[in-house]
A and B are shown apart, each in its own frame.
Chain A
Amino acid sequence: MIKRKGLKSAALAIAAFSLIAGACGGSDSTVTEETVTEETTAETTAALPGEGILACQVTDTGGVDDKGFNQISYKGMQDAEATLGVTIDLLESASDADYAPNLQNFADKGCNIIVTVGFLLGDATKAAAEANPDKNYAIVDSAFDPPIANARGLVFSTDQPSFMAGYLAAGMTKTGVVGTFGGINIPPVSIFMDGFAKGVAYYNAQKGTKVKVLGWDTEKKDGTFAGNFNSLDDGKNIAKSQADEGADIIFPVAGPVGLGSAQFAKESGGKVKIIGVDVDMSISNPDAAEVYIASVLKNIDAAVLAAITDTVNGVKTSDNYVGTLANGGVGVAYTAVPAELQAEVEAIGAGIADGTIKI
């Protein structure tokens, strides 16, 4: 059925492909970067404390290149590899059905700590942690109730930097109206919006202004939500309707939906500005870098690194890691903020960190 000629041409095709791949290999910076770190650590591990520790990460269905929490978590893994000398491994999940088998694979592989990303993995992580009491588990953006001896949550007080961002937005708005919206009304999202609105209210109380917040009601604990985390069109439309109501600074808490808002802001020609979320979006979204005035940071990588550090030091705990302004787990990145206002916002951040300002 199969003739030799056919096979030969297939082989030729493969060879041709390989040549093309070789020629454009230099442009693939991510792949090259990864191997460079691997090689350098391989040479320097001898003196590092994490030698012999295997740290493993299971992503949710977003995959490791989601420009979101899976990717940032993996950066924490890479940091641990570079600074502690641990060996790292990664499994991506294509569907919910992959969580348990992936965790099983890692348990078999002898991972010392397994980091899972996102509340979707909560039940699978719980089951795995109970089945493997000798291993440490950590889950990003979730927590266990009741606690499990060898599993901990990595959670973040994102209301703190959002409060700062709200103050910052109120200080920069020209129209006296700012906006926010979320992806889905769940606490990890609404906590940002609540902090933001309270920051604006704090500014109003301090300066006697009347800056209005669209998209979140601190009394009712409800506001504007896209209903998803992936529709750029929704992000564009919500930003547009808030801009129509006068908002000139918008804080989207909705992952990629916010990229749609950034696109709208770009098209508005400078009339509307955006506050980024999770990472410094002026860097992670270079296509629309000019629309960001600041970003609220949720340093998941720091949390992952902290959890791995504990495992390297032989600490087994069920205590959650809580990222705060004080421990650097959350923060604010400034892109285009007047120096005077930035100093004020920083002072507020210090106040939150030492407890003199209550949110």
Chain B
Amino acid sequence: MTDLLKSLRYTLLALLASLLVGAVIIVVTDIDALKVGDYGKAFTTVLTAYRSLFEGSFWGLRSISNTITGTTPLLLSGLAVSVAFKAGLFNIGATGQMLAGGMTALWVGFTMSGPGWLQVPLAVLAGAIGGAIFGGIAGVLKARTGAHEVITTIMLNSIASFLVLWLLKTTLFQREGRPDPISKLIADEAHLPRLFGFLEGRSDLVAHSGFFVALLATYGYWYLLKRTTLGFELRATGLNSDAAKYAGMKSKTLMVVAMLLAGGFAGMAGATEVLGTYGYASTSLAGNIGFDAIAVALLGQSSPIGTLVSALLFGALQAGGRSMQANTDVPVDLIIVLRALIVMFVAAPLLVKAMFRVKSQFSAQGQTFRGWGG
């Protein structure tokens, strides 16, 4: 527990350090105030920016709703990267797995007709299966031929995005009367119900029950790691695959299983985006989420609770960033910078230590993943 607190403390300090550097960037970009020597205005800009960053993520129902919407896919795809990390695999393919899962969920979403209580879970399940199959390809390639998963998952991302582009131009998927690659809308019953749907006339509260899917998946991930033999074997393989093999674990099968699980989580991320956020699919369905997921998993040190917290943080930054942009002239790109800074400071504890003159010894938290050639 003290270890957890310690690592949390460094994460918080890293957050503070990135906010400080972010403040410098905001000040520097507000050239005009500086030129006339108006340091007060520069200071106010920073305050307003950070205040709207906070208000836009947590203040009021809409902000919370936006944070939840942003967190959902980040959490699920973060789990996709985390579970692979645990097994010693670096899954860069969350984007491709999201696209695959999104498309299978979409297909169920617009072809099936039936009551929502049946259709929604089936569509989410279809997304998980679609993603799992796609993720499994990289696992099988690694187990059978030794092809490095970093290479194959990156390549599979491109394959997925072109596959989606092609699919969206086929008559099966493309919306009638639209020249551009955009899918049909899913059936009304297939929509993930909105969390605040019970409030009349609040169509701006877009958060959907995909968040519960994500929370459930996080619990499932925790249960898998801590309570099942499979989870133990995955962790053992991740920490030392030779020792795990010597102990009688089938490391090749475990690789495939890990990638199936990873793909399943990412596929659910794609499914909740299609069924909850958009209601259709486009080529940019996965956006940058698959890569942000790597940062989420790194920041959360691949633990279930860590991934949850860092996904929440990133989701909050995404939601808050929009209102920051709307209320100040600070561009939304600052959020990308802040996220990068947070990851950097977390990855470089010595830097944070030096910045804040922390005396105590920092011990690196566990092992996240093995490097190239491992």
Contact = CB atoms under 8 A, between A and B. Distances in A.
Interface of A: 1-3, 5-6, 10, 13-14, 17-18, 21-22, 25, 28, 31-32, 35, 61, 63, 91-98, 100-102, 104-106, 109, 119-120, 122-123, 131, 142, 145, 184-188, 227
A13 B70 contact: no
Nearest to B69: A97
B23 A186 contact: no
A184 B165 contact: yes
B322 A187 contact: no
> 3 nearest interchain CB pairs?
A95-B287, A21-B28, A187-B179
A142 B282 CA distance: 15
Main secondary structure of the interface of A (DSSP, over half): helix
Contacts of A2: 356-357
Given A13-B24, A120-B282, A131-B203, A96 B356 contact: no
B67 to A, nearest CB: 11
Interface stretch (B90-98, B106-114, B122-130, B323-331): B323-331
B83 interface: no
Contacts of B287: 61, 95-97
Contacts of A13: 24
B322 A102 contact: yes
Contact of B31 (A21, A91, A100, A105): A21
Nearest to A14: B24
A126 to B, nearest CB: 11
Contacts of A120: 282, 284
Contacts of A122: 180, 182
Interface stretch (B242-250, B259-267, B332-340): B332-340
Given A17-B27, A92-B331, A186-B180, A105 B323 contact: yes
Contact of B280 (A1, A102, A123, A188): A123
Interface in B1-57: 9, 13, 20, 23-24, 27-29, 31-32, 34-35, 39, 42
B181 interface: yes
B371 interface: no
Interface in B166-202: 169, 177, 179-182
B282 A96 contact: yes
A8 to B, nearest CB: 11
B34 A91 contact: no
A107 B24 CA distance: 32
Given A96-B278, A119-B180, A145-B177, A25 B34 contact: yes
Given A6-B355, A97-B287, A102-B326, 10 more contacts: A13-B24, A14-B20, A18-B28, A25-B35, A63-B333, A94-B332, A97-B70, A119-B182, A187-B180, A227-B162
B367 interface: no
A32 B20 CA distance: 26
B323 A94 contact: no
Contacts of A92: 325, 331-333
B287 to A, nearest CB: 4
Contacts of A32: 31-32
Contact of A97 (B162, B180, B277, B357): B277
Main secondary structure of the interface of B (DSSP, over half): helix
A2 B66 CA distance: 33
A35 B30 CA distance: 11
Nearest to B277: A97
A12 to B, nearest CB: 11
B190 to A, nearest CB: 16
A14 B34 CA distance: 12
A94 B333 contact: yes
B206 interface: yes
A187 B177 CA distance: 12
B35 A22 contact: yes
Contacts of B179: 186-188
Nearest to B72: A97
Contacts of B180: 119, 122, 142, 186-188
Contacts of B218: none
B285 interface: yes
A91 B39 CA distance: 26
Nearest to B73: A97
B31 A31 contact: yes
A123 to B, nearest CB: 7
B34 A21 contact: yes
Contact of B326 (A61, A91, A100, A123): A91
A101 B203 CA distance: 11
A252 B69 CA distance: 39
B228 interface: no
B82 interface: no
Which of B288, B318, B325, B333 has the largest count of A CB atoms less than 10 A from its CB? B325
A265 to B, nearest CB: 27
